[in-house]
Amino acid sequence: MPAVTPLAEQWDAIISEQPGDWSQLRLELRLDDTTRTERACVVLAPLNPWRRDDDYRIGILRFMAAARFGYGAYPGLVRTRLGLLDVEGLGGSLALLGGVDAVLPVATQGYV
């Protein structure tokens, strides 16, 4: 059986591949155990996760992270919360769905 990469390490790998001026990332977490989706939602609540489908118990959650401009959780908070899932044994796979970089808003609210 292959070793499972902790979610916090998956986050680190995603961040390391981003350009230095990244602003916003859209991410998807697929839990290994869908019966623990509710607990994952509680742990990730500060990240404002949402479900991908009509049923939140399917084990697929999406959230956003923002480093400079845009909407999303602070990168350090994302790592901390994913680390808490690791501690509780809630594994899964983290995927980058998309991102925004090189954003320099001028007299605006930022990227929308």
Q: In order of start, what are the domains of the chain with their CATH numbers?
A: 7-100 (3.30.70)
Q: Furthest-apart CA pair in the chain: how many Å?
A: 53
| Distance of alpha carbon 98 from the chain centroid | 11
pLDDT in tens, 45-92: 999 998 866 666 688 999 999 987 678 999 999 999 999 999 999 999
pLDDT in tens, 92-103: 999 999 877 655
pLDDT in tens, 15-54: 999 888 788 899 999 999 999 999 999 999 999 998 866 6
Q: 28: which residues sit within 8 A by CB, 6+ positions away? A: 52, 60, 61, 62, 94, 95, 97
